[in-house]
Amino acid sequence: MTSDSSSAGASKPVSDGHLRSPTGTAVPASDGHLRAPTGPSKPAGPAKSASDGHLRSLVKAATWRVTGTIDTFLLSFLFTKSVKLASSIAFTEVVTKIALFYLHERAWNRISWGRAGTVRPEPAAPYPLASETGRS
């Protein structure tokens, strides 16, 4: 039994008879008891890894360079008014910048700073505590 209520923020009955609020919080059911939200709490989807693979980084680098090369060609042509010179500049920078971007991407892949879900490990104590060594 599903409700056709279109009011924003209203709790809606679901097929199991429990109510689910739009925020996923527990809501009173028809018997007066609070019910936990039913269904998955997060949208289903593919699991994300902590880092990109080498091939993905390479493809990202190549597509970004296509964009950058078009920009470089247009700017070079704007300043030189020569298709030949603008093409030479754009071709040279595409080769060097793909390599530089790939190396930059791989270096950043080793850095956990700013990633969601990363936990900084606790530093080890320099000396064991007396309780850990069995001495009092």
Residue with tokens 């080890």: 124
18 neighbors 28 (Cβ within 8 angstroms): no
pTM: 0.39
Distances (CA, A) of 42 to 31, 37, 46: 27, 12, 12
pLDDT tens-digit series, residues 26-71: 555 566 665 555 555 555 555 555 678 889 988 987 888 789 899 9
68 neighbors 93 (Cβ within 8 angstroms): yes
Domain ranges of the chain: 54-109
Question: Is pLDDT at 17 greater than 50 in this prediction?
Answer: yes
Which structure tokens are listed for 48? 């994300």
pLDDT tens-digit series, residues 66-92: 898 999 999 999 999 999 999 999 999
DSSP 5-46: ---TT--EE-TTS-EE-TT---EE-TTS-EEPPPS-SS---P
